[in-house]
Amino acid sequence: MARERLMDRDQRYTTGRRRLVEVLAGTGAPVTLPALLALAPDLSQSSAYRNLALMEEAGVVRRLVHGAEHAHYELAEDLTEHHHHLICEECGLITDITLDAALERSLDRAFDGLAEAAGFSPRHHALDVFGRCANCGADA
C-alpha cells in the first residue's frame, strides 16, 4: 500500500522510507521525530524528516500537530484502522483509542445528518480528546 502510493507520485519506496513505515507500524501510538529516531538510530534526522514530509504528501503518513513541542507522526488511517486520540496538554503524549463499531456508526449517523442539513458531503470524521495523561495527573 505504502509502496503503491509513493509510486503513484513517481517516488520510490526506498530503504529509508520502508524503515520509517516499519517503525511507525510497530509503535502502536503516534511518535515524535526524536522518539522515532531513538527507535531507529540507523536513520539520519534530516533524511527521516524529508521522507516523513514526502510520505505525508503521498498519504502514507499522517502528521498530528497539537501545540506540543514536536509534531507526532502515525501511518495514515486507511493503512491502519480508524481511531481517535487522547492528547495530553501537559506533556504532549498521544494515545490511540478505538470506539466500538456501534458507537462509530451512531457518530457517523449524527454527523451525516448535520452535514446533510448544511449541504455538505461528509467523507470521514476526526475526534480527539484533550486533557491530562495518567502520568501528568488530574489536577497538577
CA dihedral 15, 20, 23, 24 (to 10 degrees): -150
CA dihedral 117, 120, 121, 123 (to 10 degrees): -100
Provide the grid cell at 82. Answer: 480508524
Instruction: Please pick, from the candidates 90, 98, 122, 129, the single residue that binds Zn ion as defined by CB under 5 A.
Output: 90
Instruction: Select from 79, 95, 99 the least CA-distant residue to 31.
Output: 95
Q: How many CB atoms lie within 10 A of CB 52?
A: 20
Nearer to Zn ion by Cβ, of 96 and 104: the residue is 104
CB under 5 A: which stretch of 48-56, 62-70, 109-117, 131-139 binds Zn ion?
Answer: 131-139
Nearer to Zn ion by Cβ, of 9 and 82: the residue is 82
Instruction: Select from 41, 31, 34, 135 the least CA-distant residue to 85.
Output: 31
Instruction: Determine, following the binding rule CB under 5 A, whether residue 126 of this chain makes contact with Zn ion.
Output: no
Closest CB 35 distance from Zn ion, rounded Å: 14
CB under 5 A: which stretch of 12-20, 33-41, 63-71, 83-91 binds Zn ion?
Answer: 83-91
Instruction: Determine, following the binding rule CB under 5 A, whether residue 48 of this chain makes contact with Zn ion.
Output: no
Instruction: Determine, following the binding rule CB under 5 A, whether residue 133 of this chain makes contact with Zn ion.
Output: yes
Residues of this chain that interact with Zn ion (CB under 5 A) are: 88, 90-91, 93, 104, 133, 136
